[in-house]
Amino acid sequence: MEKRFLRDLEVSALGLGCMGFTHSYPPFPEKSDSIAVIRAAVDLGVTFFDTAEVYGPYTNEELVGEALAPVRDKVVIATKFGWDIPADGTVNGATAYGLDSRPEAIRKAVEGSLRRLRTDRIDLLYQHRVDPHVPIEEVAGTVADLIREGKALHFGLSEAKADVIRRADAVCPVCAVESEYSMFYREPEKDTIPTLKELGIGFVPFSPLGKGILSGLFRRDTKLADNDFRASIPRFQGENFQKNMELADFVEELAKEKRATPAQVALAWILAQSPSFVPIPGTKKLSRLKDNLASLDVSFTPEELAAIDARLDEIRIRGERYPESQAKLVK
C-alpha cells in the first residue's frame, strides 16, 4: 500500500470513511459484517480510519473501536468533536444539533471518544465544524493542551476556511484539513487548497465519489429511499439530478478509456492532484473497498489531467450540496 503524509502523520494513500456503517446511508449492515469489512481494510493495507462522535451518535466510534482494537498500534484513527449532542441521544441526525466547541465541551467529547474507541489517544482530532461562538484560537489552544497530555496526537479542522486555518495553525500546528472535494465539488480549489499547500498541511477529501454519483451506480432513473440523506440534498433532486448526471456520464467515458471503473477514475483524479491528498471513500461492502483501492493503479499524464480539468470546467453542477437547514453549518 502506498503511504502518504498529512504534514508529519504517515497514513495509507487511501483511508476508509466509516460513517456509512451507522449513519446517513441506510440500510446499515449487521455489526459483525461491518467489523469484517473494517478488518479486511486493514488486511489490504489501509491504516487510516475516519469516524466521529456524531455518527450515530456514538455508535460509529463504538464500532470502529471494537473493529480496530486488535490492531490499534498499526492504524491511525481520526475522530471529531464540535456538536452539542443531547444527553439522551434521542435527536435523529446531526441536522438538529447545534455547535459547541467550548473547551469544556471539547474535553468531554474527547473523553467519550477515547472510551468508545477503546484507546488512550486519538491520532487525529478534528473540529468537526467551525463554531462561530468560540474563537478558533481558543479551540486550538485546548487541542494543544490535549496533545501535551497525550490524549490527542495531531490537530485537524473540517470544512474550515483559509483565514480560520491560518489562525488555528498559528496556535497549534494543523496536521490536516478535511473537506468535501471531488469532481462533483471543487470549491476548495479557490482558497482552501492553496492555503494548505502554502502551510504544508495535508488535505483529506471526504465524499470523494460525490456521495455516490461518481461511483457508476447512479442512473437517471435512480430513486433514493426517503431515509437516505442524499434524498434531502438539492443536487440529488429533480432536474438538478438529471443535469448533474452529465458529470457521471463523463466519468464513465473516462473509465472506459482507462479500462477502470468510474470510482477508480474519480479517486485517481484526486490522488493525482497532490501527494498530500488522502481521500477517505466510504463503503459498507468488501467488493467496493477492493474496487476503490485499485484506484492506486490508475494514473494520468499531465496532458490528460489538463484535458479532464478543462471538461470539468465546462460542466455546470446544479443545486446546493446540503439542505438549507444544514447549509449554515458549512459556510
C-alpha cell read off for 42:
486493514
* DSSP H stretches of helix in 13-76: 31-43, 59-68
Question: For 125-145, what is each residue's pLDDT tens digit?
Answer: 999 999 999 999 999 999 999
Read off the pLDDT of each residue in 283-289 and give the average, rounded to a whole number: 97
pLDDT of res. 97: 85
CATH classification for the domain delimited by 3-210+274-298, as one of 3.20.20.100, 3.40.50.2300, 3.20.20.110, 3.40.228.10: 3.20.20.100
Question: For 224-234, what is each residue's pLDDT tens digit?
Answer: 998 899 999 99
Check 25, 55, 126, 181 and give the catalytic one.
55
Return the C-alpha torsion angle 142, 280, 177, 68, nearest 10. 20
Question: For 166-203, what is each residue's pLDDT tens digit?
Answer: 999 999 999 999 999 999 999 999 999 999 999 999 99
Read off the pLDDT of each residue in 273-302 and give the average, rounded to a whole number: 98
Position with higher pLDDT, 102 vs 24: 102
pLDDT score of 92 more than 60: no
Q: What is the rounded average pLDDT for all residues in the chain?
A: 95
Closest residue by Cα to residue 273 from 248, 299, 237: 299
First to last CA, the chain: 35
Q: For residue 176, what are the β-bridge partners?
A: 156, 202
Which stretch of 15-24, 95-104, 113-122 has the lowest confidence by average pLDDT? 95-104
**25 included as an active-site residue:** no
| Domain ranges, ordered by start, for the chain | 3-210+274-298
Read off the pLDDT of each residue in 51-72 and give the average, rounded to a whole number: 97
- The residue whose grid cell reads 466510504 is 282
Residue 118: pLDDT band (50, 70, 90) is very high
